[in-house]
Amino acid sequence: MIQPIKLHVEGMTCGHCVKAVHDRVKAFDAVDEVDVHLETGEVDIEFDPEAVEIREIIAAIEDEGYKVKTF
């Protein structure tokens, strides 16, 4: 079942950063939707928690060079 989650990503400064985060998260088969908000740092994701763990998605975003908070 698809579940929404909102992450808070620190360090995005421009449209390239938005695209880097979006494309990295969207690359997961288990991710349905990704919406990245540059000004607030909020990243809204709809994913299948039975197919991917959220910590894997967080690790991918951090691998792109950003810091992720889940609260």
Binding site for a copy of itself (CB under 8 A): 13-17, 20, 65
| Dihedral sign (CA 8, 47, 15, 40) | negative
Is the CB of 47 or the CB of 61 nearer to a copy of itself? 61
User: Minimal distance in Å, beta carbon 16 to a copy of itself?
Assistant: 3
The number of beta carbons lying within 10 Å of the beta carbon of residue 67 is 12
Of 34, 64, 63, whose CA–CA distance to 46 is shortest? 34
Query: Which of 12, 31 has the CB closer to a copy of itself?
Result: 12
In whole angstroms, the minimum distance from the beta carbon of 23 to a copy of itself comes to 12
